[in-house]
Amino acid sequence: MPPAAVFSGDGCCIDPRAISCTQYHTAVIILFSCVVLGCDDLDYAIVRTGLQVLANVSLGGERHQHAVWRQFFPEGFVEIARVRRKETSDPLCMIVYVCCDGSHEPFAEFCKEPGLTIMAEIVHTASTAGFGEDWMKLLLSRICLEETYFSPLFTMLSSLSPLSVGDIERRTANFASEQAYLLGIMSEILNERIREIHVCNDFVLHVLAIFRRAAGSVNFTSRGHSSLPTGCNSIDVLGYSLTILRDICARDSSMGADGNHSSGDVINAILSGGLLDLLLHLLGELELPLTIRKSMKQDENHSYTPPKVCPYKGFRRDIVSVIGNCAYRRKLVQDEIRQKSGILLLLQHCVSDEDDPFLREWSIWSVRNLLEGNAENQKVVADLELQGSVNVTEITGLGLRVEVDPNTGRVKLVNIS
């Protein structure tokens, strides 16, 4: 396949094969000068045109990509990335992606200092000016999901200065808006390409660490009245890290959970990091769903003092969804939830709640996963119904009913759906 055509500033079409080495390097230098002068003059149309030409040049093959990279990396790219406009950021991301995709050496340089500074500035620009094309997502998918550079990038965004990976655990609980934005974009990428991309354990474990840190910094005494994003950095970090964990658990489960923890299992990695304990603890400390609170007797309501409230609409649902995805065809997880008294807790959430859209659906899904192929859990639910701890409607909503086995005299759940 012939190399892509290059368009010069006057609109003339140039075949990259027809450009001599001297002419090519001269053209790159001229483009570099135009871009820098364009930034100084705030003539973003010139900057964008120069970048589009440079992007076309980089499509001409490895020799051209190498020349572009050597001329602009890192100072030129950093200068362009600091122009806070998507009209310049989009073509810049394309240039960087094409150069890194065509050769191992540029990508290796991009993933360490000072290359990550470029990516941090790109994210900063997108967080304020937005983006119009998917080149930034492609870059982030490569360096954060497939490779192990999410943590240093996330940490760098707190001040846009290089910090060591270990600093993420030692810093204060405050988060920068760029960090919340990055997590929101990573959540989008996972949701859009959940079955296409490989996710490394390093990314998942760092997201869990961020979620744990955010859970310790959010004020759960102030009820949230909006869904994500809320505009509060800590709450957005909490919510986006939770949705990332939800999608990762859904992806890993759907790709072949066998009911056991295998060594290469992403869910196993985050469960070993204490995810289930944290989720059950958070869910147990939240006030009861609105539907249940309304149905409580007046004297019960007077004595009821909720320890914590949801910081954003959908928080309770998101917790339940992660638990349900983890329990899908995983008996060890199902058993652990039973041993931690989590079955009744989840049954209490099989109700509609205007503050948590789809809470009932996710809770029913989660309880079904807890009961599937697990006789011990089924017996617990049957006993709870007989004791009056759960309503019959909660059981029938799962497509089940309680019966007494005439042979053994033991209670059991029967599928009626």
- For the chain, the first-to-last Cα distance in angstroms comes to 57
- Token pair, residue 410, equals 């033991």
Residue 149 lies in a domain: no
Residue 117 lies in a domain: yes
Chain-centre distance for alpha carbon 75: 30
- pTM, 2 dp: 0.84
Q: What is the largest CA-CA distance in the chain?
A: 92
In Å, how far are 348, 358, 378, 412 from 367, measured between CA atoms?
10, 14, 10, 16
Helical spans, DSSP H, in 218-314:
233-254, 266-272, 275-285, 290-295, 298-303
Contacts 24+ apart (CB under 8 A), 44-51: 44/83, 44/85, 44/87, 44/88, 45/87, 47/80, 47/83, 47/87, 47/88, 48/87, 48/88, 48/91, 49/9, 50/9, 51/80, 51/88, 51/91, 51/92, 51/95
Domain of residue 91, residue span: 1-139
Residue 50 lies in a domain: yes
pLDDT of residue 108: 95
Residues of the chain with pLDDT under 50: 1-20, 23, 26-27, 38-39, 41, 161-172, 257-264, 392, 409, 411
Residue 39 lies in a domain: yes
Total domains in the fold of the chain: 1
pLDDT of residue 45: 74
pLDDT of residue 159: 75
Residue with tokens 């859209």: 357
pLDDT of residue 173: 53
pLDDT of residue 413: 53
Residue 89 lies in a domain: yes
Q: What residue ranges in 2-78 does DSSP mark as E strands?
A: 6-7, 13-14
Residues 129, 188, 283, 301: what is their CA dihedral angle, to the nearest 10 degrees? 60
pLDDT of residue 197: 83
Give the separation between CA 312 and CA 281, rounded to whole angstroms. Answer: 18
Residue 115 lies in a domain: yes
What sign has the CA pseudo-torsion 408, 410, 415, 416? positive
- Token pair, residue 188, equals 């989008």
Residue 113 lies in a domain: yes
Residue 122 lies in a domain: yes
pLDDT of residue 353: 87
pLDDT of residue 295: 67
The answer to whether 50 and 80 have CB atoms below 8 angstroms apart is no
pLDDT of residue 292: 74
* Region for residue 61 given its phi and psi (left: phi exceeds 0; alpha: psi -120 to 50; beta: otherwise): left
